[in-house]
Amino acid sequence: MNHAAPREVEPGPNPPPIADAQDPHHDRILILDFGAQYTQLIGRTVRELGVYCEIFPWDVDYAVIEAFAPRGVILSGGPASAYEDDTPAAPAALFDSGLPVLGICYGMQTLVAQLGGSVENADHREYGHAKVETRRACRLLGEAGQDLDVWMSHGDRVSALPEGFEVVGVSRNSPYAAIANDARGYYGVQFHPEVTHTAAGKDMLGRFVHDICGCAADWVPANIISAIVADVRERVGKEEVILGLSGGVDSSVVAALLHEAIGDQLTCIFVDTGLLRLNEGDQVMATFAEHLGVRVIRVDAEDEFLARLAGVADPEDKRRIIGNLFVEIFERESAKITGAAWLAQGTIYPDVIESAGNKHGKAKVIKSHHNVGGLPEHMKLQLLEPLRELFKDEVRRIGVDLGLPERMVYRHPFPGPGLGVRILGEVKKEYADILRLADAIYLEELEKHDLYDQVSQAFAVFLPVKSVGVVGDNRAYEYVIALRAVETVDFMTANWARLPYEMLATVSSRIINEVRGISRVTYDISGKPPATIEWE
C-alpha cells in the first residue's frame, strides 16, 4: 500500500437540513436560548415528541431564523431580568412573523415586556415544586379547573399583561403563572415544562408543537437514519472515509451509519490506548470487524501512551497528552490509507452547542472536551459529522436500529481519556491493570443485581494511596479503590445512587479477594454539585 502524504483538515460546511415533505427535518421548531441551564432539555423533549428542533442564541440575526423556517418558536428561560436596560430580547421581527411563540420563565417575561406588558421583581420568589390552578381553558394547558404539579425557578414575575392576553393559570405566588393569546398562538408559562418535576410538562410541549404549530411527529429513528444515509451518499460519492473508532457510543454509531451508507469506502482506525475497560479492545473488534464486517485497523499503542504519561499527575495535562498522542497515532495510521478524502467524527449536538466559540454557545469550560479540537491543520480532509444534529439519547436509539448490541449502545458514559482520568495522579500500567479488574467486578455485580440500568453512570476509581489491611493472617499495606454511582437526567446535576448495602458488600469483598494490590474499598456519596461526576 502506498503511503499518502499527511493532508490538511478542512472543516467543510455542514449542510443545512433537507427541507422537503418526505424528510424528518421538514417540520421544525426553533428554540431561542436566553442562557437557561435547562435549554437543552427543551430541545431533547421536543425531539422526543418527534419534531426536529435547533437551539439558537437569543441575539441571532432574524435572517437566520427566516432561513431556518420554523413552524414555531420557544423562548427559553435565563438569568436576566426583563425590566432592566439592555436585557436580552427576542428579535422584534418575530412578532410580525405570524409564528406561534411559547415563552418559558424568562422567555415568558421578555414576551410580555416586548409586547407592552410589565415585569417586576417578586416579593416572594418561587423555587422548586409548586401547584398551578388552570383558571381558563386554552390550547396549551387544556381544560380549566386542573391542579398542575410544576417546577418553578424565578425571582421576577409578570405584573401586567399585554393586550390580547388572559390569565389561564395561577400559583400561590404567581398571579400570572400561565398566560395565553390563543388568537395569535402566543403562550407563556412561569414554570419549566421541560423538566421531569413538571408532571404534565411533556404533554404541554406536545400540544404546542403538534396542535398549535401543526408539526408532524416524523423525527423518528427510521427516518433519521434514512435522511443521514442519503445525505452521506450524496456528499461522499465514491470517495474514501476514515474514522477514529474509540469504542464509545458516538463513534460506534457513526461507524455503523457510515457502513450502512458507503460500505467498504469506510476504514476505521481503532487506537487501543491501553486505558480501556477490561477486554474492551477485543469487544470492539468482535462487534465491528467480525459481526458487522466493517474494515477496522487496530493499533496497539499502550506502551506509547504509558511512556508519554510517565510522571504526569495533573488531570488537564493528562487529558491533553492523551488527546494529542491519539491524534499523532491517528495521523500516522491514516497517512497509510491512499485516497481518503473525508474524516468522520462522532460530534453530537451538545458538543456543537457547548464548544467554546461556536455559533450557539458561550459556555464556560469546566474541563476539556475529549472530542473537541480536531486534527492538525495540515491534514487535507473534509469533515464528515453525521451525528452533529443529534442528542445522545437519539444517537442511542438509532444505534439499536442499526443493529448494534443494546448493551454497547446503552452502556454508561466513559471518558475520552479512559482510565487515564480514573487513576488519580500519575498513570502506570500496574494501576490500570488493577483498576480494570476492579471496575469489571463492580459492573458485573450491578448487572447481576439488576441495578446497571437503574443508575446513570457507575465506575471504579484508583486512589494512589496505600491503606493498612489484613489479608489472611498478614498485615497488608495496599491501594484503595473508590466506587462511584450517580443518578441524573441530564448530567448537569446528579445525586449519588443509594445502592443496597448487600450489593456493595459483595463488590467490596470480591475486589479485595480477587484483585491483588487492593486492601480497601470506599463508596463516593458526593453529589454534583459540588463534586463532578468523574473524579478528574
Among this protein's residues, is 194 annotated catalytic? yes
Angle at 362 between CA 359 and CA 366, to 5 degrees: 130
Cross-strand bridge partners of residue 153: 127
Q: Rounded to 10 degrees, what is the CA torsion of 181, 45, 89, 160?
A: 40
* Residue that is written with C-alpha cell 467498504 in the block: 264
Q: Which three cell numbers stand for residue 128?
A: 422548586
Q: In angstroms, rounded to a whole number, what is the distance separating the alpha carbons of residues 197 and 153?
A: 12
Contact 295, 266 (CB under 8 A): yes
Contact 171, 131 (CB under 8 A): yes
Contact 466, 476 (CB under 8 A): no
Give 3-state DSSP helix, strand, coil % of the chain, rounded to 5.
35, 25, 40
| DSSP-assigned states of every residue in 490-511 | SSSSBEE----HHHHHHHHHHH
Q: Residue 302 carries which DSSP code? A: H
Phi and psi torsions of 507, nearest 5°: -60, -45
Q: Which three cell numbers stand for residue 135?
A: 383558571
Respond yes or no on whether the N-terminal peptide bond of residue 529 is cis (omega within 30° of 0): yes
Catalytic residue among 25, 26, 53, 105: 105
Q: In angstroms, rounded to a whole number, what is the distance separating the alpha carbons of residues 425 and 446?
A: 27
Q: In angstroms, rounded to a whole number, what is the distance separating the alpha carbons of residues 245 and 254?
A: 9
Hey, what long-range contacts does 109-112 have (CB within 8 A, 24 or more apart)?
A: 109/81, 109/82, 109/156, 109/157, 109/158, 109/188, 110/34, 110/75, 110/82, 111/75, 111/186, 111/188, 112/82, 112/158, 112/160, 112/161, 112/162, 112/165, 112/179, 112/188
The dihedral sign for the CA sequence 226, 230, 236, 239: positive
Among this protein's residues, is 215 annotated catalytic? no
Catalytic residue among 54, 192, 268, 394: 192
Contacts of 141 (CB under 8 A, 6+ apart): 134, 148, 168, 169, 178, 180, 204
Contact 51, 28 (CB under 8 A): yes
Tally of CB atoms within 10 A around 358: 14
Among this protein's residues, is 370 annotated catalytic? no
Q: Which amino acid is at 288?
A: F
Contact 7, 378 (CB under 8 A): yes
* Residue that is written with C-alpha cell 463516593 in the block: 524
Contacts of 321 (CB under 8 A, 6+ apart): 308, 309, 312
Catalytic residue among 26, 138, 154, 194: 194
Residues with catalytic roles:
105, 192, 194
